[in-house]
Amino acid sequence: MKTIFHLDMDAFFVSVERILDPSLEGKPVIVGGDPHGRGVVAACSYEARKYGLHSGMPIRNAFRLCPNGVYIHGHHKEYGRFSKAMKYLLEEKFPIVQQASVDEFYFDFTGCESIYGPPEIFAKQLQDEILQKLSLPCSMGISSNKSVSKIATDFKKPMGITYVPYGKEKEFLEPLAIEKIPGVGKKLFPVLQARGFRTIGDIANASPGYLAVLLGKYGTDLWNRANGMGNDVLSVEQERKSISSETTFNEDIVGKAEIEKYIFHLTSKVAQQLRNENWQASTISIKLRYSDFSTLTRAKTLLHSTDDDKTIYDTSVQLFRQAYTRRVGVRLIGIHLGKLNHSCEQEFLFEDEEIIRKRMLGAVTKIRDKFGANAIHIGVSEKD
The correct pick among 3, 5, 7, 8 for binding Mg ion (CB under 5 A) is 8
Rounded CA gap, 281 and 341, in Å?
7
Give 12 or 163: the residue with its C-beta nearer to Mg ion.
Answer: 12
Each residue 72-111 as x (binds Mg ion by CB under 5 A) or -, in order, gives -------------------------------x--------
Secondary structure letter of residue 378 according to DSSP: -
Please tell me whether residue 47 binds Mg ion under the rule CB under 5 A.
Answer: no
Min dist. Cβ of residue 24 to Mg ion (A):
17
Give 155 or 348: the residue with its C-beta nearer to Mg ion.
Answer: 155
Question: Phi and psi for 9 in degrees, rounded to 5?
Answer: -70, 140
Among residues 347, 369, 370, the alpha carbon closest in space to that of 277 is found at 369
Min dist. Cβ of residue 332 to Mg ion (A):
40
26: left (phi over 0), alpha (psi -120 to 50) or beta: left
Rounded CA gap, 136 and 18, in Å?
10
Min dist. Cβ of residue 92 to Mg ion (A):
21
Amino acid letter for position 128: D
Each residue 251-290 as x (binds Mg ion by CB under 5 A) or -, in order, gives ----------------------------------------
Stretch that binds Mg ion, among 9-17, 312-320, 328-336, 367-375 (CB under 5 A): 9-17
Rounded CA gap, 54 and 44, in Å?
7
Secondary structure letter of residue 109 according to DSSP: -
Min dist. Cβ of residue 213 to Mg ion (A):
35
Residues 6+ apart with CB under 8 A from 312: 267, 270, 271, 281, 284, 306, 335, 337
Whether 382 is catalytic is no
Stretch that binds Mg ion, among 3-11, 170-178, 292-300, 324-332 (CB under 5 A): 3-11
Min dist. Cβ of residue 30 to Mg ion (A):
15
Rounded CA gap, 366 and 362, in Å?
6
Rounded CA gap, 138 and 57, in Å?
23
Give 100 or 214: the residue with its C-beta nearer to Mg ion.
Answer: 100
Catalytic residue among 17, 47, 104, 260: 104
Indicate which residues carry an active-site annotation. Answer: 104
Interacting residues with Mg ion (CB under 5 A): 8-9, 12, 103
